[in-house]
Amino acid sequence: MEEVVGKLWHRWVTRTALGNHPEAVVKLKEIERTAGVFFRALGGDPGLRVAAATEDEHGARRSLLKRIAGAGERAARARMDASTLRLPPEIDAFPERSLNRDLYLWLAALAAAHDGIEADGPDAADNDFRCNQFATCAALHAWPGIESRYRRLVAAYLPTRPRPEKLPAAEAERERAIRQALEAPGTVRALPPVPAGTPPAQPVLLWLTGSLSGTAASRRNTGADPEQTADGGPPPSFDENERHAHRAEQVDMPQEKNGLLIFFRAESLLAVAEFLRVNRPTDDEPDPNAASAARDLDHLSLAQDTDRVASKVRFDLDLPSAAEDDIVLGAGIPLPEWDYRKGVLLQDHVRLAELAARDAPPCPLPEPLRRTARRLHQQFAALQPGRRWLKARPDGTELDLDAVVRAQTDRAVGRNPSDQLYLSLEKRERDLACMVLADLSLSTDSWVSSEARVIDVIRDALLLFGEALGATGDRFAMAGFSSVKRSQVRFHRLKDFGDRFDDRIRGRISAIKPGYYTRLGAAIRRASQLLAAEQAARRILLILSDGKPNDLDLYEGRYGIEDTRIAVGEARKQGLVPFCVTIDREGAGYLPHLFGPAGYAVIRKPEELPARLPLFYAQLTR
């Protein structure tokens, strides 16, 4: 009984102290996509993604009831860093749900106006105060339609802030300045000075905090995104409906005083691999308590291991030996790469090697795919061009009776009759070429079901795609890619435009296997070169992917995304039509920035990819 009463007391006193309205709460996951579209539509940086903000201690003065309840010490404040617009995970500050939703949209608009404003002083609080006023004025001036929304938010928010008459003199003057800045932005030049040791002001829910965290600063320097895993996909999530952000700090890697190996025996080499810090897939189940343990931490400490594995054990743990690797075609192709931090295209920065499968014996279409292949073959056979009559032609094999009647009528009323009086029987050809580029990175080794991996799904999709296009007669080629840093971009030639889709090509496709990393920009550039050489009226570049661009070096996070975006733009300038089909559930968050709102499709069930890929092609060529 005592425990039940304690829980009820804690729940009541906490809710009363905070003054929140859980019945009107709006969560970020409900409005994340809308806020992102709104932010980009108003001119915000299209490369920023929307994510949850961390809950940080603000140090502001709390009421007696909050101190009794032990609540109100932390607040999730909206902010921007180098790659992310972070908004509160949920907002329940107002009794009306519409106001809480409007606050999300206002913060997105303020961030769009805030983008590019730099702090110019040592005092972060004063910088935020000036920058938020400037951004508010810019937003209200640029988009007058949101002013009424802003005024409603201010009117509802000011009564929830501390009352100046109940604060000490210095804090009261500061609070009045904040209130004036909210009601009439741009009229207050700076916060009034306060004595040393005075608590900070209560965080302003309608403003952004402009100071970047150490994580953001390090991300600008390294180009890496700490929320990315080594295979380019999102971090493993234990609950997809509940995602939490954390404040992170960068620390140095601990130095080992003792060597890894005191003595060495050849038979213990396999056991040594279990102690090496390498990126490799694992079959272990995730720790179910990891998510709750992470939520209890105030800070997450991240360290970058710069030691090379080869410096401890002199074996090549990445690329296979030349005898076991695929056959290299040529000396390599130099390609450029876009460095978004410098804003320049680095010429000959990447070396791409074209490969052919070493062990790929010819094989027929697998038996489980034959029924689906027959159905697709029948559907795509209807796309074959046939003969049709063209009316109102200047010459032809037969008279067009409708045109003759119109000509006689025009002559009878005194008009000049048309001389296009014939029917012509002609055959229209499909002037199309398609290049399919498949992601063969290490992440395709993951399982999508108890029976198939991602690489198996991609293999089946390529086989069915080839069977479907064989019924149309369209020219098409296939390639796969992976990478190990910029000097080892591996481009697998599966089918060239001049090859027939036969058992030899099916053998190459059946031999594909998971590779390494995903340097997508270089692969798109090479595929674009091959496709642009085709003489066709419509040339489609179809990309199959399962995650974000990434590699071992700087090709992570924003760096890889921006290079891919530039590569897609270069393909469009050559007259190509890039289209991406992905099984990444987070794809809708970054693919519009890369391919545009109509340039991609997200497949929620990966096992549906083989049957749906030919249908996407049919829609693109309709």
Last residue of a domain, one of 181, 212, 243: 212
Mean pLDDT of 432-446: 93
Q: Give the list of residues 6+ apart from residue 187 with CB closer than 8 angstroms, or none.
A: 180, 181
What is the per-residue pLDDT for 10?
64
Tell which phi-psi region holds residue 298, choosing left (phi > 0), alpha (psi between -120 and 50) or beta.
alpha
Confidence of residue 458 (pLDDT cuts 50, 70, 90): very high
What is the per-residue pLDDT for 331?
86
Least confident stretch, 235-249, 293-307, 562-576:
235-249
**Tokens 């329940």 -> residue:** 92
Residues 418 and 530 in one domain: no
**Amino acid identity at 212:** L
Residues 423 and 476 in one domain: no
Q: Residue 266 domain-assigned? A: no
- Tokens representing 299 are 């800070």
- Condensed to tens digits (0 to 9), the pLDDT of residues 480-526 reads 999 999 999 999 999 999 999 999 999 999 999 999 999 999 999 99
What is the per-residue pLDDT for 423?
81
What is the per-residue pLDDT for 9?
62
Distance CA 410, CA 573 (A): 47
**Amino acid identity at 544:** L
Residues 584 and 435 in one domain: yes
**pLDDT exceeds 70 at position 253:** no
Distance CA 556, CA 599 (A): 22
Residues 450 and 523 in one domain: yes
Distance CA 9, CA 3 (A): 10
Q: Residue 413 domain-assigned? A: yes
Last residue of a domain, one of 179, 212, 245: 212
Distance CA 204, CA 256 (A): 46
- Tokens representing 503 are 């058992």
Residues 415 and 485 in one domain: no
What is the per-residue pLDDT for 527?
97
Residues 435 and 397 in one domain: no
**Tokens 């508010």 -> residue:** 136
Distance CA 349, CA 357 (A): 26
**Domain total of the chain:** 3
Q: Residue 314 domain-assigned? A: no
What is the per-residue pLDDT for 294?
61
Pick the closest to residue 271 from 321, 313, 310 (CA basis): 313
- Tokens representing 406 are 């119109």
Confidence of residue 245 (pLDDT cuts 50, 70, 90): low
- Condensed to tens digits (0 to 9), the pLDDT of residues 339-387 reads 998 999 999 999 999 999 888 999 999 999 999 999 888 888 766 665 5
DSSP states of 520-539:
HHHHHHHHHHHHHTS--SEE
Residues 401 and 465 in one domain: no
- Structural domain including 408 reads 387-427
Q: Residue 232 domain-assigned? A: no
Least confident stretch, 63-77, 147-161, 262-276, 459-473:
262-276
Residues 413 and 508 in one domain: no
**pLDDT exceeds 90 at position 249:** no
pTM tops 0.85 = no
Confidence of residue 224 (pLDDT cuts 50, 70, 90): very low
Least confident stretch, 155-159, 261-265, 283-287:
261-265
Q: Give the list of residues 6+ apart from residue 314 with CB closer than 8 angstroms, or none.
A: none
Pairing of strands 432-439, 344-356: unpaired
Mean pLDDT estimate for the chain? 81
Mean pLDDT of 538-553: 92
Q: Residue 63 domain-assigned? A: yes
Q: Give the list of residues 6+ apart from residue 406 with CB closer than 8 angstroms, or none.
A: 417, 418
Mean pLDDT of 7-29: 77
User: Positive or negative CA dihedral for 246, 248, 253, 254?
Assistant: negative
What is the per-residue pLDDT for 417?
85
What is the per-residue pLDDT for 539?
94
Mean pLDDT of 447-464: 92
- Condensed to tens digits (0 to 9), the pLDDT of residues 170-212 reads 999 999 999 999 999 999 988 999 898 899 898 999 999 864 4
What is the per-residue pLDDT for 280?
44
Q: Give the list of residues 6+ apart from residue 616 with CB closer than 8 angstroms, or none.
A: 542, 579, 581, 601
Distance CA 46, CA 472 (A): 38
Last residue of a domain, one of 366, 397, 427: 427
Q: Residue 234 domain-assigned? A: no
Q: Residue 488 domain-assigned? A: yes
Highest mean pLDDT among 305-314, 321-330, 541-550: 541-550
Residues 562 and 423 in one domain: no
Q: Under a CB-based contact definition with an 8 Å cutoff, are residues 253 and 62 in contact? A: no
Confidence of residue 221 (pLDDT cuts 50, 70, 90): very low
Q: Under a CB-based contact definition with an 8 Å cutoff, are residues 485 and 353 in contact? A: no
**pLDDT exceeds 90 at position 274:** no
- Condensed to tens digits (0 to 9), the pLDDT of residues 382-413 reads 666 655 667 877 887 788 888 888 888 988 88
Residues 526 and 405 in one domain: no
Q: Under a CB-based contact definition with an 8 Å cutoff, are residues 573 and 579 in contact? A: no
Distance CA 561, CA 297 (A): 30
Looking up residue 360, the CATH number of its domain turns out to be: 3.40.50.410
- Condensed to tens digits (0 to 9), the pLDDT of residues 488-499 reads 999 999 999 999
Residues 512 and 600 in one domain: yes
**pLDDT exceeds 70 at position 217:** no
**Amino acid identity at 535:** Q
Q: Is 187 helix (H, G, I), strand (E, B) or coil?
A: coil
**pLDDT exceeds 50 at position 14:** yes
Distance CA 471, CA 169 (A): 83
What is the per-residue pLDDT for 382?
66
Q: Residue 346 domain-assigned? A: no
Mean pLDDT of 435-448: 93
Distance CA 131, CA 119 (A): 7
Residues 21 and 90 in one domain: yes
